[in-house]
Amino acid sequence: MIDRTEVRIGCTSPLGTEWSVAGWLTVPESPARNELQILLHGGGYDHRYWDWPLDRETYSYVEHCRRAGHATLAIDRVGSGASSRPPGRLNSVHAQAGALHQIVTAARDGSLAGRAFDRVVLVGHSFGSTVAGAEAGSHKDVDAVVFTGHVGIDSGARDDDPRSALIFHNVTDDPVVAHLYGLVDDGYLTLRPEARVPTFYVAENTDPRVLDLDEKIKGVMTLGEISDMGTAADAWNLIDAPVLAMVGENDVLMFDHDIEIDTYQAVNRVKGKAPEHFSFQVVPATGHNINLHRNARTSYELILHWLDSLV
């Protein structure tokens, strides 16, 4: 029997207000070990990035983990999905890292749906990787970290990065997210539809149905998250747990276009700067959204094999 539970996790914000984080806890009938992977989606998405509702056998990492005996908690990060939506300019990386730290604590002490896990792993995608790295570097309370859609070291991200304006626009400029009008302030952004394919995908390795659904269910990013993303990335050098950084070969956000042609070259550049406990993996023929390409299951196997190797 599958044990899948929707949970609400209360967290205290840096200003002392209460935030609520929505999560979906999936525990297989016979777990491989008492370990929980906390899954963090990127900007413009919610927890469904990790549990994609189309062709789940191919695109759902949650389902892949369940079949392999691994427990997961896919959350809507603060500001996204069914979680609290504080003022957009207050929803920074460091504020979210503080909330994530409280979720990690709950996973260990048994207050997460009555289960206590011996091992906790953070698995992030894109901006979710930034939050995971900020948490792991600041609090040093997890057993391993997996970054996807991020090289992990020397990413080139900057606070208030002007490149964000090329990818995102205000929610009030986009009828697809009209359901958010009046629910969020002007500090909330969503993905420009014309930016989706060139930024996130290798078109020839992507099912058109995925692209269609991606636009229909897209989520948000906030000005607060953009405000300290570069500073937060610096915290990754402080992580003392094993780290796997996984990127698609053609992830245009993760290599320097002036000197590199793909992420193989980017990884070769950053390896010399990375701590010894960092590992790197490049996924061929794949763009930024690793989970949503046709070869997603190859990436899932690489992640689980790496985690198995740690224990």
Count of structural domains, the chain: 1
Q: Which domain holds residue 190?
A: 3-310
Global confidence as pTM: 0.97
Q: Give the mean model confidence (pLDDT) for residues 100-129.
A: 97
Q: Give the pLDDT confidence of 151-176 residue by residue, as tens digits.
A: 887 766 788 888 889 999 999 999 99
**What pLDDT, on the 0 to 100 scale, is given for residue 54?**
97
Give the model's confidence band at 1: pLDDT under 50 very low, under 70 low, under 90 confident, else very high. Answer: very low
Q: Give the pLDDT confidence of 196-232 residue by residue, as tens digits.
A: 999 999 999 999 999 999 999 999 999 999 999 888 8
- Give 231-298 as a DSSP string: HHHHGGGG--S-EEEEEETT-TTSS-TTT-SSHHHHHHHHHTTS-TTEEEEEETT--S-GGGSTTHHH
**What pLDDT, on the 0 to 100 scale, is given for residue 152?**
80
Gyration radius from the chain CA atoms: 18
Q: Domain holding 187: CATH number?
A: 3.40.50.1820
**CB < 8 Å & 24+ apart, contacts of 305-311:** 306/146, 306/244, 306/279, 306/281, 307/35, 307/37, 307/70, 307/121, 307/144, 307/146, 308/32, 310/143, 310/144, 310/242, 311/33, 311/35, 311/119
For residues 72 and 121, is the Cβ–Cβ distance under 8 A? no
Pairwise pLDDT comparison (24 vs 273), residue with the higher score: 24
